[in-house]
Amino acid sequence: MPRVSRAWAERAVTKALGGGKLRGLDVALAIEFEQLCLVINRAGLVLITNHSRSEAEASALVHALEWMTRNAHIAVAVLFERLPEGKSVYDRIIYGAQCITFAESAPSSESARDSTASAWLAPVQGMPHPLSATEQKLAKAIALDAELAPLFGYNLFVETVRGSRPKVDLLWSAGRLVIELDGYPDHGNRLAFMYDRHRDYELALSGFTVLRLANDEIAQDIGKAVEKIRDMVRHCRGRIG
């Protein structure tokens, strides 16, 4: 099976045949999760969950869903009876929400349709995050730049030689250039610090150049940020040209 580790599979099958759970195989959790997902369905999985949790549990859920999409071929949909109002921990994934109505009920009035409607969330790939002021600001600046505008897609997944599938903020595929936008609240703790460097290692090993820009830098001097991106684009063109 493509991308499935023979060594992991042999150990996992041996443990399963002995009636054990497929944990404790002395491999990283991300690798274990990815291998299990590939074995279940090589074409990818869709995970559907609901949001009926406390605020603390919701925060953990959002981080878990993002972790899963980064480490396996898995898409995630979250069901809501109604979308959260105001600032919510779900703001990280709530863009692209769509309302759906269950087929078994055919409400005749507008109020009845509202009462039976649910919403599911899907990540937007290729476009800047609509709830990220930093991405929106940078995207507008790049769109006005004749050299850079045709190059970049936003919030795209990258396949690495390690089998991981990180989602990056900006990607120039032909130049193998990744731009990451870092805000302190999401990247200022020990776990995020470690994960960012591991991600950069996997991307570098896969032939990608990574440029990290702080959100504050984009907010304070967008021109300087664009020029840094231009410098990296020209550097990558020299490398591949």
Question: What pLDDT, on the 0 to 100 scale, is given for residue 109?
Answer: 40
Q: Beta strand pairing status for 167-172 and 177-182?
A: antiparallel
Q: What would the mean pLDDT of 164-181 be, rounded to a whole number?
A: 92
Contacts 24+ apart (CB under 8 A), 196-201: 199/164, 199/166
Contact 202, 166 (CB under 8 A): yes
Quote the CA–CA distance of 32 and 52 in Å, as a whole number.
28
Q: What's the whole-number average pLDDT of the chain?
A: 79
pLDDT exceeds cutoff 50 at 21: yes
Dist CA 140 CA 143 (whole Å): 5
So what's the pLDDT on residue 53?
A: 64
pTM over 0.75: no
* pLDDT tens digits, one per residue of 54-102: 777 888 888 888 888 877 777 777 887 777 777 777 777 776 666 665 4
- C-alpha–C-alpha distance, residues 11 and 4, integer Å: 12
Percent of the chain scored above 90 by pLDDT? 29
